[in-house]
């Protein structure tokens, strides 16, 4: 091992020393990691298509929430293009964050074996991905190189490198461990997985003991007398604040691991000066944080299982409903453990709350009998409470499902993939030329009659220039001449306007219709009301409300303009978030 004081040069060796040989990779498929959550297939297509013809792109996403998992696969038509992309774009920034590119490995055993992996820590913050890659590439072919970054894309001071061969990794450890890189002595060693580190920590020997919950009047001399009976101490300290007052914890370091373990076994949960103390192995900060995370996840799972199926969400509450009134509405269905109406900082009701029962049967009965019931001036919405991320995921899934029903116009030469299906880009349309714009599925024509697929409109606005495009009609301009071939501009096909039916002309919703038919009838009234504040998005918002609301809720929205405005704002927010993610 080299002397610690020796400085190892941070260099960028010639690229020809160890080229990114692709002979063993015949699929021309690249793995692209360390991506930001907002990176989409379109962003990757713009970056990688500059290097070579891209065959397909897929950003891997969570199956439920559809959020990016931070990595993607880019497939090229040729291995040469993939190799060139690996050489030119590895560690290049994508949306401000350097990406990590390597050949796609289909064999999971090869990825998980840890072969050729090393870990580097105590790196200077000035060392970035490329500097680390260049410094270690002289030891062999590097498959992957990564420095961990924080939320602001600054180095955390440690990273990982995977070599093609284990001998290359061993050579890097031998040459660089305990050497000076950019003025700091670094540690380089074999990579050990998180699970293996936890297992090693739980069984390893220790000499440093942590003691907490100490009384303020206990000093070092008193604590030393207590622990010295288990063996000689190297040192002992009680942690104090700026004023010298004890913080209630300290450390006792023994000479022998067996003596430290015996002190922990006998002193933990014992009483010192009237207080029960905790005595255990002193842990590193990372170990403590890992344990806290595990405890928090366990508590969260226990909390979810405890209230699963018994906690109800109630909305459309009148402003005068408080906790007691909310409890009285539901106490006939069973034993209520808590009832809470949510309020803003000024104490005003937000119009919703929660009621928790003791059994799922009681909660189910309350949902069945209270959902849609008029209490005060509004029909209640009652359902099992869901976590915010689950509700958001459901809304996003509904919106994505609706988008799948809308045909898209494809452009040759843009073969990017989205969720396993081809991804297309909007096609530019010349003004004055025909363009067919498909219609969404809602709303139908008046009284359930089907609407024409499109109409043909003369751009010059000639008399008699509107005709049903579904019947083969051709728009005629001024004087009856056909637009085509007579020096007139070509007609442009545009969507037919949605029917604007006055509310009083829409037949009433009767109980003889099934819920779906009732929704269709109510949808026409709803569309008429939404088209006033949001004419461009009325169809889309109407469909979203119909998909996520009951007949009673829709009737309430039609009757209560304030509730409808709130629902429109909620839909606009979801549409905006979805649009931002797509961009």
Q: Which of 187-191, 370-374, 484-488, 547-551 has the lowest mean pLDDT?
A: 484-488
Residue 399: pLDDT band with limits 50, 70, 90:
low
Residue 396: pLDDT band with limits 50, 70, 90:
low
Domain 503-582 fold is c-terminal domain of poly(a) binding protein (1.10.1900)
Cβ proximity of 136 and 172 under 8 Å: yes
What are the tens digits of pLDDT across the range 416-454?
443 434 343 333 333 333 333 333 333 443 333 333 333
Long-range Cβ pairs for the range 453-456 (8 Å, 24+): 454/493, 454/494, 454/495, 454/496, 455/493, 455/494, 455/495, 455/496, 456/491, 456/492, 456/493
The answer to whether the pTM exceeds 0.75 is no
Q: Which of 21-35, 331-345, 460-474 has the lowest mean pLDDT?
A: 460-474
Domain range annotation of the chain: 29-198, 207-281, 308-384, 503-582
Check residue 391 and give its pLDDT: 67
State the first-to-last Cα distance of the chain, in angstroms, to the nearest integer: 52
List, edge to edge, every strand of the sheet that includes 381-384.
336-343, 349-357, 311-315, 381-384
392, containing H or E segment: helix 388-404
Q: Which of 130-144, 397-411, 479-493 has the lowest mean pLDDT?
A: 479-493
Cβ proximity of 396 and 66 under 8 Å: yes
The larger pLDDT score, comparing residue 403 to residue 144, is at 144
Check residue 354 and give its pLDDT: 92
Tell me the average pLDDT across 553-564. 84
* Highest mean pLDDT: which range of 359-363, 376-380, 489-493: 359-363
Residue 278: pLDDT band with limits 50, 70, 90:
very high
Tell me the average pLDDT across 311-324. 90
Check pLDDT > 90 for residue 108.
no
Q: 134: which residues sit within 8 A by CB, 6+ positions away?
A: 10, 11, 12, 13
- Count of residues making up the chain: 583
Q: Which of 24-33, 69-78, 175-184 has the lowest mean pLDDT?
A: 24-33
Cβ proximity of 129 and 148 under 8 Å: no
What are the tens digits of pLDDT across the range 499-543?
444 444 444 444 445 667 777 778 878 888 898 888 888 888 888
Comparing 29-198 with 207-281, is the CATH topology the same? yes
Tell me the average pLDDT across 375-392. 80
What are the tens digits of pLDDT across the range 181-191?
888 888 998 88
Q: For residue 329, count other CB atoms closer than 10 A to its CB.
A: 22
Check residue 450 and give its pLDDT: 39
Check pLDDT > 50 for residue 496.
no
Instruction: Specify the CATH architecture of the domain 29-198.
Output: 2-Layer Sandwich (3.30)
CATH of domain 308-384: 3.30.70.330
Tell me the average pLDDT across 535-552. 84
Instruction: Specify the CATH architecture of the domain 207-281.
Output: 2-Layer Sandwich (3.30)
Check residue 162 and give its pLDDT: 87
Cβ burial, residue 437 (10 Å; 0-12/13-18/19+): middle
The larger pLDDT score, comparing residue 580 to residue 89, is at 89
Report the percentage of the chain scoring pLDDT > 90. 14
| Widest distance between CA atoms in the chain | 113
Check pLDDT > 80 for residue 412.
no
- Joined together, the tokens standing for residue 477 give 């301009």
Q: Rounded to an integer, what distance in angstroms lies between the CA atom of residue 69 and that of residue 86? A: 21
Tell me the average pLDDT across 547-569. 84
- Joined together, the tokens standing for residue 333 give 């269905």
- Joined together, the tokens standing for residue 30 give 């690249």
Residue 389: pLDDT band with limits 50, 70, 90:
low
What are the tens digits of pLDDT across the range 162-178?
888 889 999 999 888 88
Check residue 394 and give its pLDDT: 67
Check residue 47 and give its pLDDT: 92
């Amino acid at each position: 091992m080299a002397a610690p004081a020796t400085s190892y040069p941070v260099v960028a060796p010639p690229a020809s020393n160890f080229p990114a040989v692709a002979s063993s990779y015949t699929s021309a498929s690249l793995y692209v990691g360390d991506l930001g959550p907002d990176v989409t297939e379109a962003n990757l297509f713009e970056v990688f298509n500059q290097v070579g013809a891209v065959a397909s792109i897929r950003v891997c996403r969570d199956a439920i929430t559809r959020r990016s998992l931070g990595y993607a696969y880019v497939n090229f038509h040729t291995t040469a293009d993939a190799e060139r992309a690996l050489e030119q774009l590895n560690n290049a920034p994508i949306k401000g964050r350097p990406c990590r590119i390597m050949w796609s490995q289909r064999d999971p055993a090869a990825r998980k074996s840890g072969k050729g992996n090393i870990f580097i820590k105590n790196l200077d913050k000035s060392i970035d991905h490329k500097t680390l890659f260049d410094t270690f590439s002289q030891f062999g072919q590097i498959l992957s190189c990564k420095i961990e970054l924080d939320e602001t894309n600054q180095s955390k001071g440690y990273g990982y490198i995977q070599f093609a061969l284990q001998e290359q990794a061993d050579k890097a450890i031998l040459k660089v461990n305990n050497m000076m890189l950019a003025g700091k002595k670094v540690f380089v060693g074999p990579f050990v997985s998180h699970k293996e580190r936890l297992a090693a920590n739980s069984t390893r020997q220790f000499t440093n003991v942590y003691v907490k919950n100490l009384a303020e009047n206990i000093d070092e001399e008193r604590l030393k007398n207590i622990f010295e009976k288990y063996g000689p101490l190297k040192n002992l300290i009680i942690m104090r604040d700026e004023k010298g007052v004890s913080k209630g914890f300290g450390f006792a370091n023994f000479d022998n691991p067996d003596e430290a373990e015996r002190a922990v076994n006998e002193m933990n949960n014992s009483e010192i000066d009237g207080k029960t103390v905790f005595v255990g192995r002193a842990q590193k900060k990372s170990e403590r944080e890992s344990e806290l995370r595990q405890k928090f996840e366990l508590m969260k799972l226990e909390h979810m299982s405890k209230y699963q199926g018994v906690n109800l969400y109630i909305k459309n509450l009148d402003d005068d409903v408080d906790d007691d009134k909310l409890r009285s509405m539901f106490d006939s269905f069973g034993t209520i453990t808590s009832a809470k109406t949510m309020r803003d900082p000024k104490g005003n009701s937000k119009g919703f709350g929660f009621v928790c029962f003791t059994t799922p049967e009681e909660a189910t009965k309350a949902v069945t009998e209270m959902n849609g019931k008029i209490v005060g001036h509004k029909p209640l919405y009652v359902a099992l409470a869901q976590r915010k991320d689950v509700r958001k995921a459901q809304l996003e899934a509904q919106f994505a499902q609706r988008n799948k029903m809308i045909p898209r116009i494809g452009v040759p030469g843009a073969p990017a993939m989205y969720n396993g299906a081809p991804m297309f880009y909007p096609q530019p349309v010349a003004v004055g030329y025909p363009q067919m714009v498909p219609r969404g599925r809602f709303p139908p024509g008046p009284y359930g009659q089907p609407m024409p697929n499109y109409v043909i409109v003369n751009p010059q606005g000639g008399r008699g220039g509107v005709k049903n495009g579904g019947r083969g009609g051709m728009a005629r301009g001024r004087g009856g001449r056909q637009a085509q071939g007579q020096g007139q501009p070509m007609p442009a096909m545009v969507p037919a306007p949605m029917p604007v039916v006055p509310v009083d002309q829409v037949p009433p919703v009767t109980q003889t219709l099934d819920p779906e038919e009732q929704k269709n009838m109510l949808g026409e009234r709803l569309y008429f009301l939404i088209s006033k504040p949001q004419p461009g998005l009325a169809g889309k918002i109407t469909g979203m409300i119909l998909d996520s609301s009951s007949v009673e809720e829709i009737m309430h929205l039609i009757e209560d303009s304030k509730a409808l405005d709130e629902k429109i704002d909620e839909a606009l927010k979801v549409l905006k978030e979805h649009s931002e993610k797509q961009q």
